[in-house]
Amino acid sequence: MDGRTPVSAVRRVQELAVNGFDPPAAYIVKDGGTGPVADTLLSVPVIDLSILTSSSTCSKEKKEEVEKLRSALVSWGLFQVVGHGIPTKLLDDVREVGKEFFDLSMEEKKRVSGVSEDGTVDDLEGYGADNIFTIDHVLDWADRLYLLVKPQDQRKLKYWPQKPNNFRELLHEYSTKSSMVAEIIVKKIAELLGLEENHFISLYGDQAIEYARFNYYPPCSQPDLVYGIKAHTDGGGITMLLQDKEVEGLQVLKDGQWIKVPILPHALVVNIADQMEIMSNGIFKSPMHRAVTNSEKERMSLVIFYSLHYNDEIEPAAALINETTPRLFRKVTVRDYLSVFYPNYLKGERAIGWAKV
């Protein structure tokens, strides 16, 4: 296998689980297990966006929430957002339609697959599982539905399920509203760095990339040996996650310890990704995070990835560089960075060192 022509795992993880198979060797963690979760009182920060955006909130309360956000970005790189304004019914509905999709027959799901019958990956979009680029990387115990949502005129609707019949409508509505939340957060990030609030928004422009990914994690008979998704950072600007409403699985690495991200049913989990770490000159960190498996319960999540266009260049904001805070990262294109990012992701390693000065 030359690393250029990915091949999909022959059987979807859901098929393996439904038929009672133990995870094949390709899914087993090589270093002896998924490792412990810290027994700690540390809790993932929760930010109330309504306080940050309200004109009627008292200045003291707003200032405290701003400082909570600053602390979350510096020390965690990840936080939960409440008061975001997305209707709870829409959150429940888009979660439910994702579950309904994965409950469809395999024949129906494969109608929106980018994988040929022989396992060759024709397109990374659509329904699928881990793609095998090298013979030695550990596969994730997850099936996925991966779709470009923006730019809207570049959507590949052949991969957008027509069943359930309200899938397209709900994903469009959710992605539109979540984009508005992401824009508010990106503006707040700029302000916290002392930049003009539209500094990053102007860089994104009309050709910014947004992908949606529905992750389905079937029950796994060996949760101590198999990851739902291996430890990684994200390669984009920021990431927004809608967790399963009942089953935990997301963990974030803080100070060398894995910390559970608890479920707040109608909160959104937001994390800084590598592009933003570079553009903030390392002030805000892109955190390592992972998803673990559950021996009894299935789990589903919906992620939206926000990224600059592949041809755009990323570098630290000029205003953040001076004699006391030197430039930490080179100017690189998004395309070049992602070409380095993905092989490192497969190995569970960070890619950001490649972009350092």
- Every domain of the chain and the residues it spans: 29-355
Tell me the pLDDT tens digit for each residue of 21-31: 888 888 888 77
Q: What is the pTM of this model?
A: 0.92
Least confident of 32-46, 160-174, 269-283, 300-314: 32-46
Cβ(197)–Cβ(191) below 8 Å = yes
pLDDT of 148 higher than 60: yes
Nearest-angstrom CA–CA distance, 294 and 17 = 12
Least confident of 2-11, 64-73, 166-175, 207-216: 2-11
Q: Give the pLDDT of residue 1.
A: 39
Q: What is the mean pLDDT of residues 267-280?
A: 98
Nearest-angstrom CA–CA distance, 170 and 186 = 24
Q: Which residue has the tokens 């000159």?
A: 281
Residue 72: what are its φ and ψ, rounded to 5°? -65, -40
Q: What is the mean pLDDT of residues 61-67?
A: 93
Which structure tokens are listed for 66?
């701003």
pLDDT of 337 higher than 90: yes
Cβ(96)–Cβ(111) below 8 Å = no
DSSP 8-state symbol, 110: G
Residue 267's nearest CA partner among 80, 78, 69, 79 is 80
Using CA atoms, how far residue 24 sits from 221, 260, 294, in Å, is 11, 26, 16
Mean pLDDT, all residues of the chain: 91
Residue 333: what are its φ and ψ, rounded to 5°? -85, 155
- Give the strand pairing for 78-82 and 46-48: parallel
Q: How confident is the model at residue 4 (pLDDT cuts 50, 70, 90)?
A: very low
Nearest-angstrom CA–CA distance, 332 and 321 = 17
Q: Give the pLDDT of residue 35.
A: 65
Tell me the pLDDT tens digit for each residue of 122-142: 788 999 887 665 667 788 999
Please state, as a whole number, how many other Cβ atoms lie within 10 Å of the Cβ of residue 292.
23
Q: Give the pLDDT of residue 134.
A: 61
pLDDT of 119 higher than 70: no
Please state, as a whole number, how many other Cβ atoms lie within 10 Å of the Cβ of residue 168.
16
Tell me the pLDDT tens digit for each residue of 201-229: 999 888 899 999 999 999 999 999 999 99
Helix (H) and strand (E) counts for the chain?
9, 16
Residue 42: what are its φ and ψ, rounded to 5°? -60, 135
Fold (topology level) of 29-355: Jelly Rolls (2.60.120)
Q: Which residue has the tokens 């024949």?
A: 107
Nearest-angstrom CA–CA distance, 225 and 113 = 28
Which run of H or E residues covers position 126? strand 126-129
Cβ(348)–Cβ(342) below 8 Å = no
119 φ/ψ sector (left φ>0, alpha ψ -120 to 50, else beta): left
Nearest-angstrom CA–CA distance, 77 and 70 = 10
